Amino acid sequence: MLAKDVPRPCSGAGRHGAPVARLWSVGVAGGPRRGGAGGRLVAADAGERMTRSEAVPVVAVAAGKQPVNGSAMAALYNTRFILSRSSPYKPELPGIDKLVSSTVGKSTNILWHDCPIGQFERQKLLNQKGCVVWITGLSGSGKSTLACALSRELHSRGHLTYILDGDNLRHGLNRDLCFEAKDRAENIRRVGISSKLFADAGLICIASLISPYRSERSACRKLLHNSTFIEVFLDVPLEVCEARDPKGLYKLARAGKIKGFTGIDDPYEPPSDCEIVIQCKAGDCATPKSMADQVVSYLEANEFLQD
CB 141 within 8 A of CB 243: no
Residue 33 zone, left/alpha/beta (φ > 0; ψ -120 to 50; rest): beta
SS3 assignment for 249-264: HHHHHHCCCCCCCECC
Q: Is 301 helix (H, G, I), strand (E, B) or coil?
A: helix
List the 80-83 sheet strands across, edge first.
23-25, 40-43, 80-83, 90-91
- Helix and strand counts by DSSP (H, E) for the chain: 10, 13
The catalytic position among 87, 211, 272, 290 is 211
Distance of alpha carbon 215 from alpha carbon 275, whole angstroms: 16
Question: Annotated catalytic, 218?
Answer: no
Which residues are annotated as catalytic?
211
